[in-house]
Amino acid sequence: MNSTHKNEDKTPPVKPLGELLVEKGLISPEQLQEALTLQRQSKNLLGEIIVSRGWVKPVFLYQTIAEQTDLAYAGSELMQLIEQVDRSLVKRFSPEQMNRFVFFPLKIEQERVEIVTAFPNNPALDSLLHEHFPGYRVEKKLVTPYEVDWLINYFFKEVILSEATTGLMYRHSEESAARVFTRAQTTGFSLGAVCILLVAYASPYYAFLLLFTVFNLFYLLNILFKFVLSLSGAGRKTGEIITDAEIKSLQTNKLPVYTILLPLYKEPSSVIHQLTRSIHHLDYPPEKLDVIYLIEEDDKKTLEDCRAESPPYTVRFLVVPQGLPKTKPRACNFGLAFARGEFLTIFDAEDMPEPSQLKKAVIAFRRHSSNYACFQAALNYYNQNQNLLTRLFTLEYSYWFDFMLPGLFALNLPIPLGGTSNHFRTAVLRELGGWDPFNVTEDADLGMRASYRGYKIGVFNSTTYEEANSQITNWIRQRSRWLKGYLQTFLVHNRRPLHVVSTSGWKGWFTLQFFIGGTTIGQAASLILWGVFAFWLVTRAGILEKYIPAPILYMGTFNLFFGNFLGMYLSMLAVFRRKYYHLTAYALLNPLYWLMASIAAWKAIYQLFSRPFYWEKTEHGLHQGGIRR
Amino acid sequence: MKPWLIVLLAAVFFGFFALSSSILLDTLVVSDETLFLTEQARSISQLDNGRATASFLAYPLLPFLGFLLFPNPIIFSASLGAILATVVILLSRQKDASPLFQIFLVCAVLFSPAFLFVLVQEPVHLIFGVLLLSAAFFLLRYRETSSIQNCFLLGLCLGTAVFCRCESWWVAPLFVLILVLFFRGDEKGELSSLLLVTFFPLIFFSGVLFFINWVFTGSALSFLRDSPYSSYAVLGSPFVLPEPHLFFPWLHSSWPSLLPFVMLFFHDRLRTVFAAGFLFISYWSAGGIHLQASSVFLVLALPFLFPIHTGKFFRTVFLVIFICGSVLSWWQVTGTDSPLDMGQVTYERVHSTVDQSKITP
C-alpha cells in the first residue's frame, strides 16, 4: 500500500500513493505532510495512517492503490466472487491464517492461484502461499481488510461460532463449565449428602455440630487467608510500576498492533457515546489499534448506535450470530478469531480506561518473558459518590484491586482476572482456548486456568473506571452472577486437584479453595452464622453453650467478631492508595453491604442448579452526575 | 531465611528461655499478676460447663489466654520469649550493614538478666510495652514511607493492647496529639481517616469486651471490677475519679509510646546515648529498683537499636554498658539481701481476690 509495491507482471507505479490521493481530492496537502511525518516516526504504512485518522474511507484508499499498482480492486464485486470461490481451496487454510495475513483464497486452476488480499506486499503471505503452492503463479486482487473479514465470516461463520462456543468443551472438557458437576463430583456430593442425612437421622445434634464445625473451620481459614493476603497487598511491592518517563521513552515505531474487543449488548446510546470517546482518547497510534465492536445478532439498535458514533474507519463491527449460551465470553471468543494484534484487551461498555493503559501494558509485557500470559489493570468507579451503594461498592473494589490482587501477585499466587482491562498476549490466549462461554465469570476462570497451565498473571499500575451499580436489585443480579461464576470456577478447577498442586503448588490449591470457593461459600455461610447469633442474642437460650463444645464456640465467636472487624478495617484501609478519604467512615456500614452479598450468594447457589449458564445482564447508564477520577 | 530454619531458631530460643525461666522461678518470688493469672486459668480450666463463658470474663484477656493454653508459667514465658526473640532476630537481619554485630547486640539484650527477669515476672508488661511501642513505630514509619502496611499494623497493635491492660485507653489522647501534630496540613481528609483507622481496632476490641461481659454478667465493666490488676481497681469507680489520678496513669502508660517520636529530634550519637542509658537503667532495675521499671526501660531501649549504629563510639558505649549493667544486675540478684522480693504473696490473699461466683455460669 505504498509506492514501493512490486507486482511480477506490471511496471513500477508512476506516482506515490499520497500524491494520487491529493490529486483525487481525497486528502489535502497538509494532511499528506502530516501523514508522511507520522510515517517517518512510526514506519507504518501510509494508507493505514490516513485511514485510521478518518481522512479517507478504506474503499477509496484501496481503489486508489489499485490504480497505483494496476491491481484489480475486487471489493465491489464480492457477491460475484463468492460464486466463483473454490471451497476445497478455502478449506486448505484456517480462518486464523486468513485473518492473520488478511487474505482469502478464491480459486486455483492449472498453475495459478487467485486470492484477494488487503496487503499484497506482505512477504509472510507470499511465503505461506509458496509453501502451499510451490511453483504456482499467484494472482492477487485488492480488497479492504473489512471485506476479508466479511468473506471469512461468510464462509466460516458456523466453524468460528462452533469453535467459540464448544471449542474448549471438546478439546479440554475437564476445563469447561459446560458440565456443572462431573460424575465424580456428583457421586462425591451425593455420598456426602447421604452421610449427613444418615447422621441427622441418627442424631440431629451431631449433624448440626458437624455442619456448624465445618462451616466455622472453613470460615476461619478463609479469614486468615485473606488477612495474610491483605497484609502482603498492603506492602510496597504492588505489581508492575510503570513510570511516565518509561512511557515517554517508548518508540512509536516499535509499538505492536493492539486488539481491543468491545462486547456490547443492549447498551444505551449514552453509554456507547462515552465508550467511543474513551477509546478515542487512548494514547496509542490509531493505525496500530485493532478495535472490534462485538454485537449480538438480535441487537440491531446497539449496532445502529455504534455506527451513528462514526468511529474511525479502522474500527470493525462484528455481528455475533445467534446461539446459546448467549454470553459475553462466547462473543469474545468469536471476536478472538478475528483479532490481529500481538496483544489483546477487553473493555466493557461503560469503561473509561486511563489513556496510557495500553502503553503501560506493552512495557509490562516487555519486562517479562512470554511466561506472563496476562496483565490485569485495576478497576474502580467514576460514580462513587452517587449514593451509599456506589460508595460501598467503590470501597470494595478499591480493596479488591489495590490490596487483594497485589497480595496474590506478591505471594506468587494465581490471580482471578477482573471482567475487563485484562491485557493478553493474543497467541497465548488462543493457546489457552480463549474464554469459557459456559462460565459466567469467564475472566476469573481464565486467570485460574492460565495459572494452572503454568502461566503467570501480573498486575500493573493503571486503572479503568467503570460505572458502579447504583440500584440494589441490579446490584444483587450482578453479584449473584459473579458468585455463581466463582462457584463454577471452583468446581471446574477442583476436578483435578493433583494437577493444580503440581502446577501451582499447595499455595495455588489454597487460593482455589479460599479465594475462589471461599468468596461465595463464605458469604452464603455468613447469613447462617449471623442467623444463629441473632437467635441466641434475642432468645438468650443456653442451648448453644450447653451443646456446642467450647473450642467450636470459641472459633465461632472469633469468626463473628474478628471476621467482621477485619472486613471493616480493611475496607477503611482501601481508601489510602487512591486517597478517597471521604469514604473511610462508610466502611462501618459494610455489614449491611455484606447482607446483600449473602442474599446474592444464595441466589447464586440456587441458579447454579437451576440455570447455570444464565447471564444476568447488568443495566448500565444508571449513573447521574459528574465523573470523579 | 528458610521456614525450617526459623522453626529451629524458635525451638532453640524456647529451650533456652524454658531453662532460664525454670531456674529463675525457683529462686524468685512469683509476681502478683502472674500468680493471679495462673490461678484464674487453673480454676477456670477445671470447670466443665461455662468454661467458654468464664474465659471471656477474665482480664487481661490476652495473657490470660496464654496461661489457659500453657498453665505452667514456664511454658508461657518460654513461648513468649521464643516468639519475641525470633521476630527480633528476623527483623534485625534485614537492615544493617554488619549483620553479625546486629545479631550479637540483639542476643545480648534478649539474653540479659533484665529481659529474662521481665519475661518470667512481668510477661503482661512486656507484651503491652511491645504492642504500644510497635504501634508508635508503625505510625512513624507510615509518616516516613506512606506504606499502607504500616497503617494496617498500627491500628492492630494499638487495638490488641487493650486485651493486655486497660491503660491502653489512656494512650489514645497521646496518639491523637501525635497524629494531629504530624499529619496536620497533609492531604485533606487524611488526618480524619488516619484517626479512624488508628482507633477503630481499639474501639472495636473494647466493644467486644464490653459486649461479652454485658451478655454474661449484665454489666459491661464487670471484667474490670473483678481483676485486681486493672485501672478500675486502682482508680475506683470510673465516675468518681480525683483529677490527679487521671494524670499519673496517663503518663505511666503513654511515655513508652512518646519516646519514639522524641528520638526523631536527636541525631545518631544522642540516640546511641539514649539506647545505652535505657539499657543501663533496665539492667540496674532488674537487679535493684523495680522489675516493672526494668521492663519499661528494656523495651524502650530496643527500638533505639534499629537501625543499628555501628560506629566505634556506639560499640564502645554499648560494650561498657553491657558489661557494667550485667555485672551489676547479676550481683544484685545473687546478693544475700536481694531486693527482688516484691512483697510476699500468699495463695490465700490471691485466692480471695478472685470472686468465684463470677466464674461460674
How many CB atoms are located within 10 Å of the residue A4 CB?
A: 10
DSSP state, A348?
Answer: -
- Our CA angle for B248, B252, B255, nearest 5°, is 125
State the Cα–Cα distance between residues A523 and A530, nearest whole angstrom: 11
State which residue of chain A sits closest to B214, comparing Cα positions: A537
| pLDDT, position B315 | 62
Burial B177-209 (b: 16+ CB within 10 A, else e): ebbeebbeeeeeebbebbbbbbbbbbebbbebb
Cα separation, B322 vs A33, whole angstroms: 80
pLDDT confidence bin for B182, thresholds 50/70/90 = confident
Q: Do A561 and B208 touch (CB under 8 A)?
A: yes
Euclidean distance between CA atoms A559 and A171, whole angstroms: 43
- Do B151 and A573 lie within an 8 Å CB cutoff? yes
Beta strands at A372-381 and A422-425: parallel, antiparallel or unpaired: antiparallel
With CB atoms and an 8 Å threshold, state whether A576 touches B193.
yes
Q: How far apart are CA A396 and CA A393, in angstroms?
A: 5
Structural contact between residues A296 and A326, judged by C-beta atoms closer than 8 angstroms: yes
Write out the three cell numbers for A597. Answer: 452479598
Nearest to A231 among B55, B149, B208 (CB): B149
Identify the residue among B94, B152, B187, B204 best suited for mutation to test binding to A, counting A beta carbons within 10 A and taking the highest.
Answer: B152
Q: Residues for chain A: how many in total?
A: 629
Tell me the residue type at B265. F
- pLDDT tens string A310-342: 888 888 999 999 888 888 999 999 999 999 999
Q: Shortest CA distance to A95 belongs to which of A326, A289, A318?
A: A318
Measured distance CA(A85)–CA(A114) in Å, rounded: 10
Across A127-165, b (16+ Cβ under 10 Å) vs e yields ebbeeebeeeebbbbbbbbbbbbbbbbebbeeebbebbb
Residues of B with CB under 8 A from a CB of A: 49-53, 55, 145, 147-149, 151-153, 155-156, 187-190, 192-193, 196-197, 200-201, 204-205, 208, 215, 361
Average pLDDT estimate for A173-183: 91
Residues 6+ apart with CB under 8 A from A270: A621
pLDDT band at A348 (very low <50, low <70, confident <90, very high): very high
Q: Determine which helix (DSSP H) or strand (DSSP E) holds B352, and give its type and residue range.
A: helix B347-353
Output the pLDDT for position B282: 62
Asked whether A237 and A544 are in contact (CB, 8 A), the reply is no
Percent of chain A with pLDDT over 90: 58
Please say if the pLDDT value at position A76 is more than 60: yes
Q: Which helix (H) or strand (E) holds A296?
A: strand A289-296
**Confidence (pLDDT) at A259:** 97
Residue that is written with C-alpha cell 451425593 in the block = A190
For residue A296, the one-letter residue type is E
Residue B243's pLDDT is 42
**What confidence tier does A231 reach under pLDDT thresholds 50, 70, 90?**
confident
Q: How far apart are the first and last CA of chain A?
A: 42
pTM over 0.80? The answer is yes
Q: DSSP labels for A243-288? A: -HHHHHT--GGGPPPEEEEEEESS--HHHHHHHHHHHHT-SS-GGG
CB contact under 8 A, A565 and B204: yes
Closest by CA to A47, choosing from A17, A72, A26, A73, is: A17
Q: How far is A581 from chain B (nearest CA, A)?
A: 5
Picking from A403, A572, A579, the nearest residue to B187 by CB comes out as A579
For residue A150, give the nearest of A92, A76, A91, A84 by alpha carbon: A76
In chain A, residues with a C-beta closer than 8 Å to the C-beta of B214 are none
- A68 Cβ contact list (under 8 Å, min separation 6): A3, A5, A13, A14, A15, A17, A20
pLDDT at A5: 39
Residue type, A442: E
- How many other CB atoms sit within 10 Å of the CB of residue A201? 9
Partners of residue B148 in chain A, C-beta under 8 Å: 234, 403, 573, 576-577
Q: Which of A572, A579, A583 to mutate to test the interface with B (most CBs of B within 10 A)?
A: A572
Instruction: List pLDDT tens digits, range A118-130.
Output: 999 899 999 999 9
What Rg, from alpha-carbon coordinates, does chain B have?
A: 21
Residue B119 banded pLDDT, cuts 50, 70, 90? confident
Among B62, B65, B148, B214, the strongest candidate for a mutation testing the A interface, having the largest count of A CBs within 10 A, is B148
Average pLDDT in chain B: 68
pLDDT mean over A572-592: 91
For A358-386, what is the mean pLDDT? 94
* From A235, A561, A575, residue closest to B149, measured CB to CB: A235
Nearest CA in chain A to B53: A545
**Shortest CA distance from B155: residue in chain A:** A569
Q: What is the pLDDT of residues A141-164, one digit of tens each?
A: 999 999 999 999 999 999 999 999
**Higher-scoring residue by pLDDT: B244, A243:** A243
Distances (CA, A) of A268 to A272, A297, A319, B159, B335: 7, 17, 18, 49, 88
Mind listing the pLDDT tens digit for each residue in B186-203?
A: 677 888 898 999 999 999
